[in-house]
Amino acid sequence: MHYVYIIQSTLSAKYYIGSTDNIDRRIKEHNKNITRSTKHKGPWELVHKESFTVKQDALIREKRVKSYKGGLAFKKLVSVPIV
């Protein structure tokens, strides 16, 4: 399974969008300051995730979600509770 996820910094309220095949491990990496782009900007909380069976579909979706950033479509994604 592959995932597109959005995390939010509890420190700055900024968002990060990514994709992974192991969402639990990836969020732990963000919170342990292993990821350069999110280092020392957390702690991070998962605010949205989508699952895909095909990695390429997840990468396409990640790119699309990144194009939403800051817009109405992005705000709708992060306002829906995680199921």
Q: 39-70, pLDDT tens digit by residue?
A: 899 899 999 999 999 999 999 999 999 998 77
- The burial class, CB within 10 Å (0-12 / 13-18 / 19+), for 71 is exposed
For the segment 1-13, the average pLDDT, to the nearest whole number, is 94
The model scores a pTM over 0.95? no
The domain locations on the chain are: 2-79
Give the torsion through C-alpha atoms of 42, 43, 48, 52, to 10 deg. Answer: 80
| CATH 3.40.50 fits domain 2-79 | no
Q: Would you say residue 83 has pLDDT above 80?
A: no
Query: What is the full DSSP assignment across 24-41?
Result: HHHHHHHHTT-SGGGTTS
